[in-house]
Structure 1
């Protein structure tokens, strides 16, 4: 996200193709299971160079035989499972629509502890097995309830509109079987499912630019003039969406509604305030009774967070969780493991290319008041 594209970036409106759900992976793998060791690197700076000219990173990639991004991490039955995008190299020409970000399947990773062996469980869901899917299988998430594991995924339908689908399995590693239709009322990208302490589950979705969220400003999809549908810099920014899930976890129990993210003055952020406004990659976790909604700011490459007293918000901006990673995109998840909190994220250490990423993990530290310390990756 920040300093890593090895090329000059075009103007901000032409950067739509670079959204955090980008893909790529010159390394294709089969469905066999593989393992790799994870290690920690010197944790002082963000992809800076040392005295020898070598880049320094906070942590090493969790896996290196395929490219992975957008990691959604969960603890199921005492084991850590990671649901990432699978970046692939398609050799498609880059364009403003992000057509070259053409992921086609998901691999699920797991490990028994932070820093332990990482297992790649192979392909858990392929786009060819999703009846309604057109193209571009982007960042997923997962949940467990009713003895079933649910995999939520964004993919463009046959009309090239991003919808959210759901697939089910009796195993956290799949294989997953997709429902025959997308979730009714779903839109955009980056589903993130949060189950509260009362057992109710909520889905957060949304991403502007290539994620199409700005095309839903009227409540209906309008793809006629996409570049004119973004708010002007002095207009209120487009917010993510949230809806409570039904008990069967396969549908929404209510219409999706916009989430408000506001400053300390209580005012919503404007579209031109790209250091604070929502771009994509939302995630929810709860700590000491507070709801923490974190997200990517996109073209300023920050992971920011805001807090509130309800899963619906409004959420008041608090600060930056993570400074820019190497590579244009950033996307994360936050999970508690054995009493400590960790953030899973990605950068481009392995490839140096913003569309071929690798997932990493590091500890998330808080101050006594619950605020999160900023990480330099």
Structure 2
């Protein structure tokens, strides 16, 4: 029988050690901006969780907007009390970044309570769609959608969240055949562990700890309807397996899914990438169709300065780029800044390691 208390203590201790080591290394780099691979794209506000898309030959970035809410840091993520979205754009990399101002605010969403977390966007049939996670008035994360005729908004939110949606971190991928899929979910503060039985359990676990040798909780995926406002079919598990076809286990914190899923397609293969959360890595798995299963391939970004790691991957003018965040500007976990760096696929289809600090 697993000693849950001992397991939790061990994982917390290991996570603390990793965080301390990461913070020590980060502090060394913090003294000189030259040590960072890339510099913040904007400095007038704090931004995080950048979802980048190419619409009509231009890059549009849909990030979270961090603010100082004065809330003590905790595992529920209450200190990430974001309240609106600013949309950014770029015509080249590197290049000027334009902040188009507030595109959607929590006060403009009739069913919303608090915490407007990491969004994503899509374009279809002349309309732009902004997908957002926000806690409803019962403090349960649901995913909503807002629409606009402009990629920069303003966006108007639908009167209800997407039926069947829950948790956080929507990422919408449109395949070459025109079909679109939403990947979503995040454990701990993202509440995914409270949906393990298909319904929200308000008294459920705050973490995924305690079930070390069971298959890990994983992201969800659903096909989008043609109108992009609802799911067309059931919500499925994103199955991530090892080279032997076995599911990753909860105790495997260096490989299991935590949050921040993203999908990109390269040479006919589907790459599902994600954050490992408390071990602060970006990992990826490869599959043959949007629903998976996806075979774990490896890590492609080591820990950045700060606690969270959340990214997007996009092709632009013949090159691939990764958008990510760290805390170079503030040195505080909840006040982040977004960056961009080139991402390279190797000849065998694997992704080259992205080193966020210069050696």
Same fold by TM-score greater than 0.5: yes
The 1:14–1:126 alpha-carbon spacing in structure 2 relative to 1, beyond 3 Å, is farther
The equivalent residue for 1:342 is 321
How much does 1:83 deviate?
0.2
- The reply on whether 1:276 has 2:264 as its aligned counterpart is no
Structure 1 residues 221 and 101, CA gap change in structure 2 (3 angstroms): same
User: Relative to 1, partners in 2 of residues 1:88 and 1:319: Cα closer, same or farther, differing over 3 Å?
Assistant: same
Q: How large is the RMSD of aligned CA atoms in angstroms? A: 2.0
| Distance apart, 1:229 and its partner CA | 6.6
What is the CA distance between 1:99 and its match in structure 2? 2.0
Q: Which one is further off, 217-226 or 145-154?
A: 217-226
Alignment of 1:1-377 (within 5 A): 47=26, 49=28, 54=32, 56-227=35-206, 232-377=211-356
Shift of 1:48: 7.5
* SS of alignment partner, residue 226 of structure 1: coil
Instruction: Give the structure-2-normalised TM-score.
Output: 0.90
* CA contact 1:194–1:201 (8 Å) conserved in 2: yes
Which 5+ residue runs of structure 2 have no aligned equivalent? 1-8, 16-24
Deviation at 1:224, TM superposition (A): 1.3
Counterpart Cα distance in 2 of 1:221 and 1:365: 40
C-alpha distance 231-249 of structure 1, shift in aligned 2 (>3 A) = farther
- 1:277 is displaced (CA, Å) by 0.2
Measured after TM superposition, the shift of residue 320 of structure 1 is 1.0
Long gaps (5+) in structure 1: 1-9, 17-45
On the 8 A contact 1:214/1:230 being kept in 2, the answer is no
Structure 2: distance between partners of 1:97 and 1:48: 25
Task: Pick 1 or 2: higher relative contact order, CA cutoff 8 A, min separation 6.
Answer: 1
SS of 2:194 mapped into structure 1 = helix
Please state how far the C-alpha of 1:220 moved relative to its aligned partner: 1.0
**Residue 231 of structure 1 contacts residue 238 of structure 1 at CA under 8 Å; is this kept in 2?**
no
TM-fit CA distance, 1:96? 3.6
CA contact (8 A) 1:296 1:330 kept: yes
Give the whole-Å Cα distance in 2 for the aligned partners of 1:275 and 1:324: 11
Change (3 A) 1:112 1:217: same
Write the distance in 2 (CA, Å) between the matches of 1:144 and 1:315.
Answer: 26
CA offsets, 1:255-292, max 9 Å, x none?
Answer: 11111101111110100100000000000000000000
